[in-house]
Structure 1
C-alpha cells in the first residue's frame, strides 16, 4: 500500500507541475474483499444412527451436499472412504438424516445469500485404527517438504469470492508420510480437496517418543482468505 501511494503522489506532482488534473485511474483503490459468512446447520439428532434391527455397517463416508441460497438442501452425495460394502443401508440412513433432521441457514457474501457445497465425514462404529494425538514428552512432527507453502485457493472459490476456514485431521506416520486425511468438522468440500491434495504432497519429520518415531494424529485449521 505504501508503494502504491508513492506512485500516486509522484504522478500527481508531475501532473500538477503541468497544470493537469490528477489522473483518476491512479486514485482508484482496489475493491475490498467481500464479507463472507459460511452456511450453518442445526441437526437433531446431531449425527445419523442406523436402527438397531438393521445389519451393522462399520466404516467411514464423506457426505457432500449443497446448501442453496434459500437454505434448502440439494445435490446430496456420499463417498465410501473406508469399510466393507454393501453400505446401502448406511448411505440411505445418512441421506435421510441430512434431509429430515437438519436445518440450514445459507452462506452470504456482503449479506447476499450464496449457494455453497459443504462436506463432512460420517463414522459408523469405532475407527479402523487408534492413533494418539501429540502427547506431552513427544517431539512435534515438522514439515520437511511440500509442493508449496500452503494449499492454493481453488479457482472456483476465487471466482465466486468464497472464503472460509476448515478444520482438518490427519496422521503423520512413522516414515513421515501422511494418511487418514479427514474433515474434523463440516466445511466447504472445495477447500478440503485443496488441503487433501496439498497434504498428500508433503513429507514430515515424524514425531518421536523417547527417541522412537511414532505416528500421531494432528488437528489443524486451514484458512482460505479472499484477496
Structure 2
C-alpha cells in the first residue's frame, strides 16, 4: 500500500468490501484483501451449545462495552503470529475516537479475560479479532456481540475469513458477489452498537436459543 492509510480511507475500503492486513506485527506495510469466499456470522443462525449456555448461565463474567478498547486490540495482537501492526493500532485508535470502532469486553472481577473488537458502518459490523484468557471467554463475547447486533439494528456480521472456531458457532462462507449484495443492504440503513444496555445472562440466552 504505497499511500499512507487514513481512518477515512479505511472506512471507504470497508464500504467497498475490502479490508487491510499486515503480513506480521513487524511489517510496516498494509495490504488490501477481498476473499473470494467471505466469512460471516449469520445473526439469526448463531449456535449456542449446551455447554456454552451453561457457562453463560453460571455467571462469573461481567460484560462491558468500550471501556478498554485499546487493551482488547492489544490482547488480540498478543499471539505468536498477528496481522495487527503499528499502523493498524493507530488506525483502530482513530476509528474508536471517531465512534466507528467498538469493543465488547468480558471481565472477571478486575481482570480482562476475553473480548471482541470491530468496526461499524451503517448496519454492518466488521469483526476484526477476538481473544480469550480463560476457557470459553471468546465464545461468551461473541454470544453477547451477536445479541447486541440483533438488538441494535445491524444486519451483517462480517468475520472476513471462516475459522473452525467460528464455524462451530454457526459461521459460514458466502461468495464474494453475495457478500457485496449483503454489504450494500447493510450500508443502506443505520445502527448503533452502543444503543442498548448490557443485558443479563438470562435475557441473552432466551433470545439466542430461540434461533440457534
Q: With structure 2 as the length reference, what TM-score do the two structures score?
A: 0.27
Is the helix fraction higher in 1 or 2?
2
The higher relative CO (CA closer than 8 Å, separation ≥ 6) is in 2
Q: With structure 1 as the length reference, what TM-score do the two structures score?
A: 0.26
Is the strand fraction higher in 1 or 2?
1
Larger Rg: 1
